[in-house]
Structure 1
């Protein structure tokens, strides 16, 4: 788990547009590969990333990239956990609202239900 936290820290540094830290781009690539390859470890890393995201910009990077990839590639494996955590954590709700799921995707009905449940279809979305 400590290794995942270090990976998450490097990933977040690589996504910080103000810092322009290209030395940590390897972490972005590694997280992307983990998400493609292993939904269990991918979800673990994403939960760390969501916990560590301190700005809307960073949260948007996690949502529209890593979380979206996990949902589209392994949605049926992780959707129960995502729904459960989103009901308890506003940060996760915001991240889910920043992922784009195609209406032809098999998890779209459940993702769309979350958008309704959390009020995102009616325009409610508050910053962190």
Structure 2
């Protein structure tokens, strides 16, 4: 199964979100740009992107606002996230840019 074979990548990105949120954002941006399929974007949105925004959204929201100007796939992924534990002010900012 591809899922089982590639699960290490998910775990590595999850660890990176805690260790270096800015670098994790860059990787998420690259993944979105590289594979803008609905499947890939939905998985980014429901996993690493929501986690990143929940934990570090306040520190990264300005970078995200800049990134979506040249990365329409990232903007699409933002449209697929759910609020869950994302802080209210970060969620409000996301609503304005998606």
Identify unmatched segments of 5+ residues in structure 2. none
TM (norm. structure 1) is: 0.66
For residues 11-63 of structure 1, the C-alpha deviation after alignment (integer angstroms, 9 at most, x for no partner) is: xxxxxxxxx31122111111111112221111121111111114111111011
Q: Secondary structure at the match of 2:69?
A: helix
Residue of structure 1 in register with 2:93 after alignment: 110
8 Å contact 2:54–2:86 — kept in the other structure?
no
C-alpha RMSD over aligned residues:
1.9
Q: 2:24 aligns with which of 27, 38, 42?
A: 42
Task: Report the structure, 1 or 2, having the larger helix content.
Answer: 2
TM (norm. structure 2) is: 0.84
2: CA distance between counterparts of 1:54 and 1:101? 22
For residues 73-101 of structure 1, the C-alpha deviation after alignment (integer angstroms, 9 at most, x for no partner) is: 10011111111121333211101111112
Higher relative contact order (CA 8 A, sep 6+): 2
Report deviation, 1:70: 0.7
Residue of structure 2 in register with 1:55 after alignment: 37
Residue of structure 1 in register with 2:15 after alignment: 33
Rg larger for: 1
Count of residues in correspondence between the two structures: 96
